Every structure is written in structure tokens, then in C-alpha cells.
């Protein structure tokens, strides 16, 4: 876990998939290329979903980790997110 400055934070704890991914996608849509999103979720499927989403959309998943029963994601917006 590293210290990263982020531009927006999303709390998707308590939400079942696909809602964490949808919230992250919506937040990334308003960010400029290169800005950073920090998100938390509790649904275990969100780990796989957000990794795949980042890869497909060319966003940079800078970090993902689990701590205190929460999944944490740090994503830098790439060029292809709509």
C-alpha cells in the first residue's frame, strides 16, 4: 500500500456487483485523463471485475489490495474511458 494523491473517492462498500463497478465507471467518466480515483468496495467480485474493466478500458490500476474486509482500488484514468 502506497500513499497516492487522488482526485476523487468513491465508497461502494455494502454494494453488490455490478454496482461498485458502475460507480467507478461513472466517476472515471467525469475525470480528465491522468487524474486518479480511489475506491473502496466490500463485494469480493469487485476485485476481479475492476481488474478486468481497467485492462479493457486502458485505465491504469495503480494498486488494488484488501484491508480490514474492504477492497481498495487506485485507478488512473486512461485515454479510452467514455
For the chain, the domains span: 8-71
Supply the pTM of this predicted model: 0.89
| Overall average pLDDT of the 11-39 stretch | 96
Active site residue 12: no
pLDDT at 3 over 70: no
Angle between helices 45-57 and 19-30 (to 10 degrees): 30
- The residue from 6, 11, 15, 17 that is catalytic is 17
Please report which helix (H) or strand (E) contains residue 30, including its range: helix 19-30
CATH topology of domain 8-71: Translation Initiation Factor IF3 (3.30.110)
Cβ–Cβ < 8 Å for 44, 66: no
pLDDT at 61 over 90: yes
| Overall average pLDDT of the 14-32 stretch | 96
Give the Cα separation of 66 and 47 in Å (integer): 9
pLDDT at 40 over 50: yes
Amino acid at each position: 500500500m502506497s500513499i497516492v494523491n487522488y482526485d476523487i473517492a468513491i465508497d461502494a462498500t455494502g454494494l453488490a456487483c455490478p454496482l461498485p463497478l458502475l460507480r467507478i465507471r461513472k466517476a472515471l467518466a467525469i475525470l480528465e485523463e491522468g487524474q486518479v480515483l480511489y475506491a473502496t468496495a466490500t463485494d469480493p467480485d469487485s476485485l476481479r471485475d475492476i481488474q478486468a474493466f481497467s485492462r479493457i478500458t486502458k485505465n491504469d490500476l495503480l494498486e488494488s489490495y484488501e484491508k480490514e474486509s474492504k477492497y481498495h482500488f487506485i485507478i488512473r484514468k486512461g485515454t479510452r474511458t467514455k
